[in-house]
Amino acid sequence: MEKKIIETGGREVLVYQTDPKPQVLLFQTLGKQERGSIDNEVQLISEAERIPFVMAAFAISDWEVELTPWHDPEVSRRRDVGEHANETLQYILDKLIPSMKKEYGDLPVILGGYSLGGLFARWASSESDRFAAVACCSPSVWIAGWRDYSASHPVLAKNVYLSLGDREEFCKNKVVAQVGNNIRWESEHLQQTLGSDHCTLEWNHGNHFMDGARRMAMGFAWCISKNSAIY
């Protein structure tokens, strides 16, 4: 596997290529907490899926500011949180996708993320039709107004992967604890709108902070397999 670090549109991007002729592009939000596990995650994806891919993990310097789609004081009381997610999405659409497609060809794009990164990926799938699938692992769908947004903004991706740890809804924070009911609602909503073959909800053992790399690998592998018919 080839790994390199490049700069695209002013952001650092870790690029992993599993084969000289990749068939799909994987994009992932990369926060500080994920830098120590991304190598292992990419290896787990390659072991789970035979389809060759390129992973572009792009740096996120301020997790809350760059990924939160709208303001919610339970996410952060900082005023600028909720105002800049669209800038991150535009970076993907205007900088990262053109750069990667110029290098590797016009390949399907799968976007994934964990926690707020998972929320961002799911939100992005309703804001743009450029993603073939999204992997939303332990997404922060407890954010205020999520159900209203989801109900009124159809998913434009063909496939959506959702996952959650089976202990996450038992946290002490009552707002965050709504994540269990909200992700069940989200799964049912997407099964109805996309079809049962195009959305799945996978439950993992443990709380929000367990096995992030493995959970992300499972999500990307599912998305790759569901989109394999178009390669």
- Give the domain ranges of the chain: 2-230
Question: How many CA atoms are closer than 13 Å to the CA of 111, on its beta-carbon side?
Answer: 27
Q: Provide the pLDDT for residue 111.
A: 98
The CATH number fitting domain 2-230, selected from 3.30.360.10, 3.90.1640.10, 3.40.50.1820, 3.40.630.10: 3.40.50.1820
Closest CA to 18 of 229, 227, 217: 217
Q: Give the β-pairing of 11-17 and 53-59.
A: antiparallel
- The one-digit pLDDT tens for each residue of the chain (231 residues) are 999 999 999 999 999 999 999 999 999 999 998 999 999 999 999 999 999 999 999 999 999 999 999 999 999 999 899 999 999 999 999 999 999 999 999 999 999 999 999 999 999 999 999 999 999 999 999 999 999 999 999 999 999 999 999 999 999 999 999 999 999 999 999 999 999 999 999 999 999 999 999 999 999 999 999 977 444
> For residues 190, 219, 11 and 92, what is the CA-based torsion angle, rounded to 10 degrees?
-30
- What predicted TM-score, i.e. pTM, was given to this entire model? 0.96
Q: Which residues make Cβ contacts (< 8 Å) with residue 5, sequence separation at least 6?
A: 12, 13, 14, 15
Q: Provide the pLDDT for residue 230.
A: 43
Q: Provide the pLDDT for residue 33.
A: 87
CA distance 6 to 19: 18
